[in-house]
Amino acid sequence: MNNKLYGNLIFELSKEGRIGYSLPGNNFGNYEIPTSMCRAEDAALPECDELTVVRHYTNLSNNNFGVDTGFYPLGSCTMKYNPKINEEMAALPQFQNLHPEQPAETVKGAEKLISILEHHLCELTGLAHFTFKPYAGAHGELTGLMVIDNYHRSRGDLQRKKVIVPDSAHGTNPASAAVCGLEIIEVKSQADGTVDLEDLKRLVEQEKDNIAAMMMTNPNTLGLFEKSIPEIATLIHDCGGLMYYDGANLNPMLGVCRPGDMGFDVMHINLHKTFSTPHGGGGPGSGPVGVREGLQEFFPFVSPYNGNFAVMMRAFAYILSLGKEYVKKVGPLATLNANYIKESLKDVYELPIDTMCCHEFVFDGLKDKSTGVTTMDVAKRLLDYGYHAPTIYFPLLFHESLMIEPTENESKETLDAFIAVMRKIAEEAKTNPDEVKSAPHNTPIGRVDDVLAAKHPVTTYRQLKAEL
């Protein structure tokens, strides 16, 4: 990685007169676009030859870290291996060239793929129907809440606008509720990290007919299974609300327990987490929404066609690859890997809730707080050792949250090496805290000035040039 050589923007490599494309000549005759329709000046895009472009983006990729580069224990994100066969299948021209407005008789294969995938997801979750329209997890949450809102509206239950969410929930939960025009009420967590049933009973009693739904992820964001889930579902159902399952943490449940059997009515799945489709640097994802029988008539129109179809193809390839015998291994092996790391580090990192976790768990920073080394410092120091950092400062229940999710694909050797580095950092925090606090040292760039970026936003090349 050499940021000095490859730090240019593509605009800075541009030279007038160079081209990176080949288009046919115009043999349609003289059709001039009327100038009254046209922009006054050409868009100031770069002018580069093909190799310059290829080299620029190849070198940029070298300044990135992916699952294929190394261990990526980013909690809550399920950075599992993205199999290559999935990519090969998604690129098949028989599917890539399909226009979404093609008549049904010409897209039978694609339609069949969608219906088999739907069947797979129903089997794996215990729900009855899925819509593939949502483009991402947050979009799925919104879609699921719309299903719930539509259901209550259809019954004339117009006052049901409150959604109960645990205080440990993902930030998208309350944000999705707000977009859907619903109001959030938070239920407290107990000391062991699970929902406080007494507090929930109080809320249900207090709000009764106003409750639209309860939104939960199970295991929760601490990686802990909510053992009272049957009681919680009964409480909510008895007051007329529906149960929403945030599928962000579905991975450890494969082969173990299905949301439908837990008592959930509506859920979304992040295909880019549990079903191995690549995260792509932040999308495209896919967030299909599943419902219990009878709720499918409330699926909303949140996108025009079949959602991110090529992402669904990858998930389909993954399920076919594993088949029923190996898909069952996913959850237990992910859970084993997480517990193995937890048990191997809990003597040096603070483990606030010392119990069996599922696919992930949360440390509250280093055990020895006297060194002043924070979770941020540990995360940055991990980059020096060639690891991606865990999720930090989430969930908000602890001050120094460090959330680790290894996934089922990592070998014991990889985990052992990570554990050794985590222990080394804990040691460094005592012997050489400044080295840790000033990390990273071995990355293409050092710690960035977030405040400068936000105080004086420069977000385009045009602005950047004006600054010079």
Partner 1 sequence: MYKYFPHTDEDLKAMLEKVGVETLDELYPQIPESIRFKGDYQIDLTEGEMGVRRVFNKLGAENKQLTCFAGYGVYDHYTPSVIPNLLQRSEFLTSYTPYQAEISQGTLHYIFEYQSMMAELTGMDISNASMYDGTTACAEAMMMAVAAGKKVNKVLVSETLNPKTRQVLDTYALHHGIELVTIPAKDGVTDLSALNSPLSSLEGVAGVMVQQPNVFGIVEDYTGFADACHAQKALFIMDCVAADLAVLKTPGEWGADIAVGDGQSLGIPMQFGGPYVGYMCCTEKLIRKMPGRIVGMTKDNREQRAFVLTLQAREQHIRRQKATSNICSNQSLMALFVTIYMSLMGKKGVKEAAQLSYAGAHYLCDELLKTGRFHLVYDKPFFNEFYVKYDGDADQLYQKFIDAGFLGGVRMEEGFLFAVTENRTKEEIDNLVKIAAL
Q: Which is nearer to partner 1, 280 or 372 (CB)?
A: 280
Q: What angle do CA 455, 460, 463 make, to 5 degrees?
A: 70
Q: Smallest distance from the beta carbon of 41 to partner 1, in angstroms?
A: 9
Contact yes or no for 76/394 (Cβ under 8 A): yes
Shortest Å, Cβ 152 to partner 1: 11
Q: What is the CA radius of gyration of the chain?
A: 25
285/365 with CB nearer partner 1 = 285
CB 370, min distance to partner 1, A: 25
* DSSP assignment string, 324-378: HHHHHHHHHHHHHHHHHHHHHHTTTB--SS-S--SS-EEEESBS-GGG---HHHH
Based on CB atoms, which residue is closest to partner 1, 420 or 453? 453
Cβ of residue 456: shortest distance to partner 1, in angstroms? 9
Tokens of 107: 């897209």
391-392 and 289-291: which strand pairing?
A: unpaired
Closer of 12 and 205 to partner 1 (Cβ)? 12
End-to-end CA distance of the chain: 27
C-alpha–C-alpha distance, residues 218 and 170, integer Å: 12
Who's near 303: CB < 8 A, 6+ residues apart? 133, 134, 135, 139
In the complex with partner 1, the residue whose CB is nearer, 184 or 239, is 184
- Shortest CA distance to 259 belongs to which of 287, 285, 289? 289
Shortest approach of partner 1 to residue 258 CB, angstroms? 5
CB nearer to partner 1: pick between 77 and 429: 77
- Closest approach of partner 1 to the CB of residue 298, in Å: 12
What is the Cα–Cα distance from 114 to 237, expressed in whole angstroms? 31
